[in-house]
Structure 1
Amino acid sequence: MADISAPTVPARDAKPLLVWAIAIAIPLMLLAPAFWNGYPLLQSDTGGYLARWYEGYLVPSRSTVFGLYLHYGEHTYFWGNLAIQALATMWILQLMLRVFGLAGPWRLFGSCLALTLTTALPWLASMLLTDIFSGLSVLSLFLLVLYGSKISRSEKIALFVFTAFSAATHSATMGVLLGLCCVGWILRPFLCGRIPTTHLVQGTLTIAAGAIMLLLGNFALSGQLAWTPGGPALAFARMLQDGIVTRYLNDHCATQQFKLCPYRNELPETADDFLWSRESIFNKLGRFPGLGNEMGYIAVHALADYPLWQAEAALTDAGEQLLKVATGENTDHPTMMHTYGIFRDFLPQQLKVVDAARQQKSHLTFGPFNLIHVPVALISTVLVFVLLLAALWRKRVDDVTLLLATVCLTLLGNAFICGVISGPHDRYGSRLVWITTFALMIAGMRYWQRDDIPNGRSRPA
């Protein structure tokens, strides 16, 4: 009897189909929170970025470059922005696996699935905020500097542009990337050619390109060729939270007339209450235009007056920042009234869809997710430092050690920059800590591939 069973797909066709299926599944997986929400996730800072196009002036800590990025996605109801974020995430993750010799659709899918289930990554990719670019830019800089010889020319150009754009989206991101480049220049002579000079130059130039991009964006939208304001003011708010501002005012109000002197005994306890509360003294005195210069003056002079206190506070805040890694800070509806007001004023045609989203109906809570995210993040942080110290103790400087060192330096640099300038916040930790989990996954897969296991047996790839 003739064989009338259904024909099988030739083996040569199965892999392309699998690759396409996974290439479609991963972005959908990364954007699952936004699909569940019914609209891209918003955060209390989203409105400040979005308004840059419409208001035409500079606002502290709100990048015009990221504001332009959001503006050009408006006609897609910002789903275009999320598509870019998800595709960029998949692209950089697969590049990382490829340069470590771990290429393969199932490894990529498994890595993305694990990160989706255990870290903040899908929430970052689903949100209209700069945070997704923080971790991705560290990985893209790592690829550009250490693995430029293993990727194509077009990939290097794409990584260069991506890293520069990411640096321009947030000052803290630029600071972390700049710090990594500086450490690279310091350590390069001791690493026996592991960091090629030309690649390190390219990595450093991404920071310069990001700075130029930001200056041009500020000029295009505001007419001012100036840096985004806000650094001294945010440092002032952190000093206020540490009690330093009150001490400075008590010591100097007898001889200097500050606007804050009459209110020095009424200052709030936290930086967030001072900067963002509607009934804050900050609002009463004119916010940044009315109080910015005074805040900057006090921040600078308080550094000179109380150096030991400042150093102690800086170390304490940086240490606390390392431990603050919970997902979802300031994404519940009551904290987003400014963002909602921006939509009401400038994008009223989208209000109906925004209002219908679960986030605006107070259905979004991160408590259950953080039961997983926080332990995974903290355990991953401990393990990357332990593995790095173990590798250094054994004087082993291989590819995995360089990745672990990059991740550890990133965490320390981010904790110092964000903790000291803005004060510790969960958002600043959660947007980066997922790369520690990814680094551990790469280290584990590389170990599994090794042929020189102590018992002499090789493990399957």
Structure 2
Amino acid sequence: MFWPWCSAQGDTGISNTQILDERATEAGSAWLPVIVIPLFLVAPALWNGYPLLQWDTGGYLARWYEGYLVPSRSTVFGLYLHWGEGSSFWLNLGLQALATLWILQLTLRVLGLSQPLRLLWIGLLLILTTALPWLASMLLTDIFAGLSVLALFVMATQAGRISPLEKCALFGFVAFASATHSATLGVLFGLCCAGWIAYPLLRRQIALSGLVQASMTIVAGAAMLLAANFALSGQLAWTPGGTGVAFGRMLQDGIVAQYLKDHCSREKLKLCPYRNELPPTADDFLWGNSMFNKLGRFEGMNDEMGFIVKQSLAAYPLWQTKAAAVATAEQLMHVATGEGTNGWVPHTYGIIERYIPSQTQPMRAAHQQHWDIDFALVNWLHVPVALASMLAAAAIAGHAIWRRRRDDIALLAATVTLALLGNAVICGIISGPHDRYGARLVWIATFTVLVAAARHFGGERTAP
């Protein structure tokens, strides 16, 4: 075996030294994205001097200490944050950066695009042009939304190209991601439903075993959340808050005010005396200094808000339908980076000062707490890139359907487009349009476009 190999070397004029040099260069380039991408993903936090915080962060942190359930705050994610407290949460950011690198690399690998330098330039373009590094640098569930969509895609459509260990790791990751936020779980559930609907037509593209495994992650995530809620609060219950959030969106659309106007003459509701004083937005009502506080917040108002939500759905079906369509369209356009990531997060400050006083000083010294973060320049680039990426991803999926092409890039584009639409429906209709809900997911559209460009210009064969 040795001699023919040596003879071939002599015939081609390539020396052993040259081969060793080439292999050393390849090994070095393989490590380059492993070092550079995670470092740049947490660069905003490194510059800040402390992990980035958001208004919701404090609610998650408090779950371990307060031991009861609050609206829209997953105990699973609260436990995840508590695990990293001893490192001032840098362990959490490190894990988020490495998970991002892993999912990006794995997606490129199963698509046949796993060259290290390609991973590097795609990663750096995502870091420059999308919200990805801000999501990875923040103590919030948002980074797991987009990653879980890509992980679900790999699990369901590329089962034959990943090892049993990778299948187990993806299963655990998607289950955890779905347990961190109800909207993420809803998007993943919708994708699984779409997968089952499309399976009879796409038997060659969608592996039955992968689709079953992907669907079971939703069940596992729900079980994980119920178990964590029971362990921390003693209640075998889902995280509360969906009704209150939906009520806020209807209030913002004027539906609640109209319902009170039409029914307060014959129904005794706590909000009736305030029907002419309702604040203009859901955020002002739920989180501002409104009558909601006087009436007992969620504990005192849950039943009444749920009653008004159900009754107004029946009372104004056309209005509700129109409002839902408008909210979905607006949510698709709300993609700016940085909503809620400024110096005004007093609840989170208070939670850290109360329960983790040792971190008060570094938290207060961070740039964020001095209002040094300005996303205006960032969004000058991020917003047009996000909107163009969504259109391009949808165009790739639409072109494939029109031409009846069923390759893996088309399937990825269709998955991402459905995820973005599902996210807009869930978040827009229930919570009302917010930039944060769009920015946390739209970067996977940019990733899809970059993957399609790499496939097209790299000359690799499109996998059938």
Same fold (TM over 0.5): yes
Match of 2:282 in 1: 271
Q: Kindly provide the amino acid, as one letter, of the partner of residue 361 in structure 2.
A: K
- Equivalent AA in structure 1 for residue 117 of structure 2: W
Q: 1:342 aligns with which of 337, 351, 361?
A: 351
Distance 1:42 1:114 in 2: 24
Residue-by-residue CA offset, 1:96-123 (whole Å, 9 max, x unaligned): 1101110111011101100010000000
Deviations along 1:44-93, one digit per CA (max 9) or x if unpaired, are 10000000000100000000000000000000000000000000000000
Does the alignment pair 1:293 with 2:303?
yes
Q: Look up the match of 2:11.
A: none
Aligned to 1:189: 200
Give TM-score, length-normalised by structure 2. Answer: 0.94
**Quick one: distance in 2 between partners of 1:338 and 1:193?**
51
The residue that corresponds to 1:137 in the other structure is 148
Deviations 1:294-353 (A, max 9, x none): 11111111111111100000000000000000000011112x011011011111110000
Q: Work out the CA distance in 1 between the residues paired with 2:204 and 2:117.
A: 33
Provide the residue aligned with 2:70 in structure 1. 59
* Structure 2 residue 293 is matched with structure 1 residue 302: no
Q: Structure 2 matches for 1:227-306, cutoff 5 A? A: 227-277=238-288, 279-306=289-316
Letter in 2 for 1:72: W
Aligned to 2:224: 213
What does residue range 7-86 of structure 1 map to in structure 2 within 5 Å?
A: 10-86=21-97
User: Matched residues in 2 for 1:288 and 1:304: separation?
Assistant: 23
User: Relative to structure 1, is the Cα distance of residues 94 and 451 closer, same or farther in structure 2, using a 3 angstrom cutoff?
Assistant: closer
Number of equivalences: 445
Conservation of the 8 A alpha-carbon contact between 2:329 and 2:424: yes
> What is the aligned partner in structure 1 of residue 378 from structure 2?
369
Quote the Cα distance in structure 2 between the aligned partners of 1:426 and 1:74: 28
Comparing 125-134 with 188-197, greater Cα deviation is found at 188-197
Q: Which runs of 5+ in 2 are unaligned?
A: 1-16
Deviation, structure 1 residue 451: 6.8
- Aligned pairs for 1:151-162 within 5 A: 151-162=162-173
Distance across 1 between alignment mates of 2:460 and 2:389: 25
Partner of 1:429: 438
User: 2: CA distance between counterparts of 1:149 and 1:389?
Assistant: 26
1:20 deviation in Å? 2.4
The verdict on how the C-alpha distance between 1:147 and 1:452 changes in structure 2, with shifts beyond 3 A counting, is closer
Please name the residue that 1:125 is paired with: 136
CA displacement at 1:452 relative to structure 2: 8.3
The worse-fitting range, judged by mean Cα deviation, of 17-26 and 368-377 is: 17-26
Partner of residue 4, structure 2: none
Which residue number corresponds to residue 14 of structure 2?
none
Cα offset, 1:195, TM superposition: 1.1
What is the one-letter code of the residue matched to 1:294? E
Are 2:32 and 2:120, in contact at CA under 8 Å, matched by a contact in 1? Answer: no
In the alignment, which residue of structure 2 is the partner of 1:169? 180
Q: 4+ residue runs of structure 1 moved beyond 6 angstroms?
A: none
Tell me which residue corresponds to 1:380. 389
Offset of 1:184 from its aligned partner? 0.5
Name the CA distance, whole Å, in 2 between partners of 1:112 and 1:428. 22
| Matching residue of 2:189 | 178
* Offset, 1:159: 0.3
Alpha-carbon distance in structure 1 between the residues aligned to 2:388 and 2:412: 17
Structure 1 stretch 293-302 or stretch 200-209: which is displaced more? 293-302
> One-letter code of the match for 1:321?
Q
Residue-by-residue CA offset, 1:259-287 (whole Å, 9 max, x unaligned): 0000010000100000111x211111111
Tell whether 2:161 aligns with 1:150.
yes
State the percentage of identical aligned residues: 61
Counterpart code for 1:375: P
Superposition TM-score, scaled by structure 1 size: 0.95
Quote the RMSD (CA, aligned, Å).
1.3
